[in-house]
Structures are given as C-alpha cells and as structure tokens.
Structure 1
C-alpha cells in the first residue's frame, strides 16, 4: 500500500512520526510529532490558506486559548452532544468505536445516525470480533464524550476543557471583533491552532488523532441580508460536485453550477454557495487535488452535528483510504450565539447596516483538518518510477524549495556551491549536500518533493552558470548565477523549466 510507504518515508525523512514511542513503547496512540520537514510543509500549507482565504476574504485572524471554561461548552451543547458510541470487549477490555468496528469488519457505512441499541444489534448479527483478542463478546454500546476535561486552579473546583474546535472563542469575541473591524458585516473570523479530541480508536496516521491542527473560518452574517451578491457573481457558473444524501446509495456524484444549486434551494443562500465554491477551488486549484477526487458529501439530519442545519464534508479520495473528510462545512445558524447569550445572560448581537439595528447573526463555518490535508498531499503525490521514488508535491508546498550540490567533492566546487547556497538562504528554504554521488543526492531530494536542484560543476567556474534540474521530468537547463534567484522563483510559481535557461543534453 502506498500509505504504508508514505508513513515510513515520513518518519524516516522527518515529516512526522508517532510521539514518545522511541523511548516509551506504551505511549498512547494518536499523538503525532512534526519533524523539520513536516513543520516547513505545514507552515506552507497554512500560509497558502492565509493567502487565498484570510487576506482575499478580508478576514480578521484570532489566536485564542486552547483551554476554555466549562460553561463555554455547556452553552454550545458539546458537554451533552459531543459524543461517539463506544463498545468494550468483555475479554481484553479494549474499547472501540462501534461504528468503526462495523465499517471495518462488515463493510457497513453511514452508521452515524443509528442508536446505541441498533449498533449493538448489528455487532451481534455481523459476528464482529475484537481486533486485539478475537473475542465476540462485547458490552452494550454507550456514549462517550470526546472532550478532555481538566481542572483550573489550586482548589480544583473550576472545570475546563481542552477545546475540540476553535469556534466557541470566535463566538464569544464577536462583539469586540466587529468593533475592531469597524462594524463590518458579514464578519469573517479566521483561526489556526490546535484542537483536542479524546478519540476512542485513533488510526490511519494523521487521519484520526487526539491532538490536531485546524484552520477554521467563522462567517457571521445577517440571515435576512447575507450581502454576497457581487461575490456570488464570480462563481455563478462554477460547477460544484456533491454526493447528496438522496444519491448516496447509488454513489454517483451530482454536478451542478452554483446558480443551479442555489435555485434548487440546496445551498441555502448566496453566501453559503460562494464559500462552498471557494473551498472546492482551494482544494483543486491551489492545493492541487484532481477534481474527480474531490466531492461534497451531504450529511443527513441524523448524521449532522448537533449545531448544524446543513452540513457537507469536503472529502478527498485515495485508493488506500477511500473518501475521507478534509474540510467540515457547517451552517450553524444562530445555535452557538443563542446558546452563549442564554447561559451568560449577555446579548451577543452584531450591528447590521442594512437594518440599522443590532441583530442575532447566523454563522457558516468551513474547517480544514490541516493534518489530514498534509497526509493526503503526500499520499496522492507519491510516485514510484522504477527505482526512483518521488513526491510530486505542488512546488510551493514542498518543504524544501531548492537544493544546492557541488557535482563532486572538490574544494573549488564546494566553495562555489557554498557561496550560492548562502545567497539562496535569503529567499528560499534551501538545502546543501555534498555527500555521496550526484545521483543519490538527486534521489534523496526527489523523495521529499524538492522541486528543483542546483548543481555547481566545472563549467560554473568558467562562465558562472549552473544547472537547474526539474524534479518531475529530470530535465536540466543552464542558468547564470546572477539570474538564479529569479529563475527559481519563476519555477516555483509554475513556469516550465525550459523557459528559464539553456536546455542541456
């Protein structure tokens, strides 16, 4: 499986690996560490989101705490509703998500809306076995709250939680943020940060973890005047890919333009429709996933989160994992705002210029799972071409922009290559290597996705030209060192290598 190879490569080369396991073999699952390459790639993934979403949509960015008072999640409904359904093996006492056991052993899907009694009946009927000890004797299914509870202060009386989402801090800060944004409405609040969920059965690498990274946007708007006419016009004819709840059994994607989706009442209003288009474009045009591997999966009324009136998972397909949610898209209406107002006794209203009064806003939220996105970028761009392994990542998302090599380990070439490397560090994530054959050095860079390599050879000493090598085609051109930075920038931006210098060979 490509997934196994990607996971091995990621740990060996320094993208990510399971935390603490090198020293403590009994460390719990679901805790992952990003290494040097993973940190660089994660930063680039987030910066692209900031460029395409935060800045273009005039968002205000917030950095809130990971710890929240218990009252926050009482108001939002998480203490009551943020549950998974758990079953315990009566022999080895391992605990599992009931729906995951049925999905993996019986091939059943779409189980989120079933009751505890219905899930237990299926476990018995399908003769599900514990994956650890093989027993088929299980407890009855029960609910398990996924939040990490903690106590604040020396007395231990004040209950708090590690946040399972960034959303609630955006909600409670909306009045201050609208004031800072000079009464702008819709108000677009953006957050990047950690979230925590006490997953019953962490699995599939970065897909289901207990601590993870999110890039979330909360759009607060006047439900009577969403005010997205101009933005909607820019995507009116853009085609969205849906798997509606009614078409799920057939499994066929339904394509419709934004205009058609809105006219049918499927996407609620122009604002929601625009953001659905924006995130499909982000995943396909910016992060580079093939359009046919992206779809919006509609959740039905039994599957939707407790806060959502409408809910679509933007899913990405791979042969190893199937369709996996990468972006959660929820129309949360005024659920969160009303909940906090009711519990706190304080009104959370925003000023509407159209109505000349303060109103209770509605909220739409697209939320990216950054770790899932990174894993899918590595998985879907992984190639084995003969003896060569190459990560054909989008150029601007590769952790290393450019590598610099002397052709052979000679003092004069090392000196020239080191000087060039030093100048490139000012503008790029650059890497220098003089160890081993030039072919092996190229292969090491191919494996981690470095889009271009600079080689200093004896001709460099004569005319100050170097070779540029394209990761994907392995073609090379010669470029003068004075034009090197410009050539690399153009290449990372998407220009073909042959336009940047004199072809070789």
Structure 2
C-alpha cells in the first residue's frame, strides 16, 4: 500500500475538524462537491478578505464588482465559450471511465520528462496500470446549461458562468463612467463559477462548482507585456507573504499551441501538492487576454467599449491582464503548507506527537481560544466574560472540556494562534497566561492588557 500523502492527511484532518464536509452526505454525497463547515467558512472568508484588501481596497487603481452568475446567453456566444469551451474526452475501453486526454498526456510528460511518442497509445490505464486502450478523443463542453422561464426549450437556454471575467467585461463601460477611472486600472471580483469537469477530484482541488478571485486589469496596448510581468510577480508575493514556502511554488508557462482562444500569453502559479501522477497543481493563471474580450463584446452588442485618451487625442480598445485565482485551491494550498507535526510535553513528563496548522495569523479560522484551567465556579465565569469581551474584535472559542494539554492540542490542529488560560492565580493577580501556537512559549499578561497584547500580534487579522 502506498504511503499516505500529505494531501490525504490534510483532507482527513479537514473532514474530522469540520473544515469541509462531503456535499449531501446523508444521501450518499455528490461526487467532488463539498460543503464548508464552521472552520472552513471562516478560513475561506479570511482568504477572501486578504485577497480583496491586497487587490482592491489597498490600491488606488482598482475597484470592485459583483456580477450575476447567470448572464445573457449572447455573452457566452460572443466570448467564444459556446464554440470553444470544451475539453478532449477519452474513455478507457478497459474500465469505461472517462478522462481528459490532455491531462493524461501532461501526467505522462511530467513523469517521463518527454511527451509519449505514440500519443495516447503509450498511456497506461490510471486505474488498472494495464496498457491503455482508448476511444478517439471527442470535444466535451465544459458549460453547464440551465433554463430560465416556464418552458425547457432553446428560448430559455442559459449557462451558469464558467468564469467571473465576462461579468466584468460587459460592465466595463459602466464602471469606467461611474468610477471615473482610466487605464491602467482594474476591476476585481470574487464569486462562484461552474464547469462541467470530466474528471473532478483530488479533494477540493477540481470541482464543478468553485469560487474564483479574479481581477481584470485594463491597460494601453503596448504596455501589456510590462504589466503582465508586474502582476505575475505581485501575485507570487501574495502567496509567500501569507506563509506559503517559496520552494513549493513555481511558474508554469503555457505553450503557445495550448493557449486559450483569448490569450497572448498565460503563466500559471503552481503549488507542489504532491498529487499522484502529477506533483504540481495550478493555483492561479495570469493571462494576457489582449483586447479580445472588449473587442468581441463591442462587435456583438453594438456598444462601443473603447477608451478615449484625452491627453493624446487617441482612442483604443484596452488590453487586459487577468490574474485569476481559485479560492478553494488557495485554501487547500494554505492548509497543506501549514500542516506540521512536532512534539509537545505532556502531563506525565514525557512528550506527545503534536499536529499543528502553522497558518498565517491573518488566515487562522479562530484567532484566540480562552481556556479556564478547570471547570470551576470562580474560573468559568471569568473566562467566559473574557471570551465575550474579545469576540468584539476576533473569532474566539471558549473550551473547558478535558485536560488543558488536550485542549491546547485541539487548538493547535486548527491553527489557533493564541490560547489564553485563566487559572487560580488569575483570581489574585488579575492576569492570564497567553500561549503562542508555534513556539508554545507562554507569557503572563494582565487582564486589562490582553486586548492590546493581542491587537499588536493580530494586526491585519
């Protein structure tokens, strides 16, 4: 049996501690669909908050948008998605399971260092390991259809958006007018997208419903390549600033023949997940979409989506640089990178294995845990009052069940940066012990200084 991967270990922890639940589990679940529990939703919100702050509110040149999930059908026809948004589907004649042909070929090339000489004929069946027998590839549309109105016919046919970007492009003129921005400027958006994936899997990595954090940055033609490099560097720095080990990140340049229909150049930011068959997985794509989107929508809609530059008396259709990140893929990378095992002293004078999520404090689902040393008529009310006071500023847990060491471990494995112990000395010296997660160092802090102590250490959280 193959050793358990770090991804499997983290997935088990996430399910056990309520970060993630299988969707509709009581009915047998939906394949590769997930619900986010109390801790998972906090982690997601914290990642979104950091992205929004970094990409929108901290920048003078960017504004936000929240566009509809269901756009007019003409949007997807004009954008080229109806015609070209498809993947090559093959079926194994051995197991009758279906796969994306390009994924099979890419996994072979990553493993062997070269593409297969005979194409799919050289690819072994992923499930059985036998020499592969495959059907001819055929195009499989990634668009999810839905129908609006009382009749399920062509007239009511719409699509759930496969990307948030098109909602930004069709609102370009609205935002330009109302925000009084001018290129170079960006429009950021976070929202759900839907793709009819052939082979969803790898826990929350590839799903049919997912959240994107996207920004479309509009620039003058000729300045696009410089801005593309800027955004590649800027986005890499976001991941490392939030604690991702740079050794686990890499840039992957798309080959020209594999570029999307709208792209002049695309560079992916990938994380070393250690998946079976392919160690690296895409977190984010940074694409130079040229003037493709604004041009096709301008032509199809009859509305002018160009920009008039008064200073030079010229009119042009802006080029677009798009950093497009997957929220749940980022969440998975932050969890895998933060997962750590070490040793901690126990009550018997020995040591126990300790699981700790060394998440950046800004991302941690729970910022502070308040723990009375024991259930006691004097300690419990004091600890509860402190927890309630701190909830004005942070997500705080109160826990009085079990030995104090066990309670520390519970908080360590969900990444809580600080544990505050209210003990019997607190009744006399009006101070508490604050323990830091990573070092396990403890410090005695006066009760009236606790807020300030934490505020200094949870800046930006």
With the length of structure 2 as denominator, give the TM-score of the two structures. 0.90
2:120 aligned residue: 123
Give ranges in structure 2 of 5+ residues lacking alignment: 344-352
2:35 aligned residue: 33
2:141 to 133, 142, 145: 145
Q: Is the 8 A contact 2:22 2:30 kept in 1?
A: no
CA distance in 2, matches of 1:122, 1:271: 37
Moved more, 174-183 or 476-485: 174-183
1:422 aligned residue: 388
Q: Does the alignment pair 1:306 with 2:261?
A: yes
Pairing 1:354-503 to 2, within 5 Å after superposition: 354-386=311-343, 387-493=353-459
Deviation, structure 1 residue 91: 5.3
2:187 aligned residue: 189
Deviation, structure 1 residue 106: 7.7
Q: Is the 8 A contact 2:122 2:131 kept in 1?
A: no
Q: Is the 8 A contact 2:191 2:213 kept in 1?
A: yes
2:11 aligned residue: 7
1:50 aligned residue: 52
CA distance in 1, matches of 2:113, 2:85: 18
Q: Does the alignment pair 1:74 with 2:77?
A: yes
1:165 to 163, 178, 182: 163
2:250 aligned residue: 295
2:176 aligned residue: 178
- Taking only aligned residues, the RMSD between alpha carbons, in angstroms, comes to 2.3
Deviation, structure 1 residue 133: 10
CA distance in 1, matches of 2:113, 2:131: 25
1:330 aligned residue: 287
Q: Does the alignment pair 1:316 with 2:271?
A: yes
Q: Does the alignment pair 1:283 with 2:281?
A: no
Deviation, structure 1 residue 105: 6.7
2:347 aligned residue: none
Q: Is the 8 A contact 1:69 1:159 kept in 2?
A: no
CA distance in 1, matches of 2:414, 2:310: 51
CA distance in 1, matches of 2:220, 2:126: 50
Q: Is the 8 A contact 1:384 1:390 kept in 2?
A: yes
Deviation, structure 1 residue 209: 0.8
CA distance in 2, matches of 1:377, 1:100: 24
Q: Is the 8 A contact 1:178 1:187 kept in 2?
A: no
Q: Is the 8 A contact 1:89 1:135 kept in 2?
A: no
Deviation, structure 1 residue 144: 0.9
CA distance in 2, matches of 1:7, 1:132: 24
Moved more, 423-432 or 65-74: 65-74
1:269 to 200, 225, 233: 225
2:89 aligned residue: 86
With the length of structure 1 as denominator, give the TM-score of the two structures. 0.83
**CA, structure 1 residues 281+129, in 2 after alignment: closer, same or farther (shift >3 Å)?**
closer
Deviation, structure 1 residue 43: 0.7
1:217 to 202, 205, 215: 215
- CA deviation digits over 1:298-328, x for unaligned, max 9? 1111121111001100112244562221111
CA distance in 2, matches of 1:149, 1:92: 28
CA distance in 2, matches of 1:350, 1:306: 23
Q: Is the 8 A contact 1:195 1:212 kept in 2?
A: yes
CA distance in 2, matches of 1:101, 1:276: 27
2:346 aligned residue: none
CA distance in 1, matches of 2:119, 2:294: 38
Deviation, structure 1 residue 465: 0.2
What is the SS of the residue equivalent to 2:402?
A: coil
Q: Is the 8 A contact 2:228 2:286 kept in 1?
A: no
Q: Is the 8 A contact 2:228 2:287 kept in 1?
A: no
CA distance in 2, matches of 1:132, 1:160: 39
CA distance in 2, matches of 1:354, 1:160: 42
CA distance in 2, matches of 1:103, 1:349: 39
Give ranges in structure 1 of 5+ residues lacking alignment: 227-267, 495-505
Deviation, structure 1 residue 135: 8.7
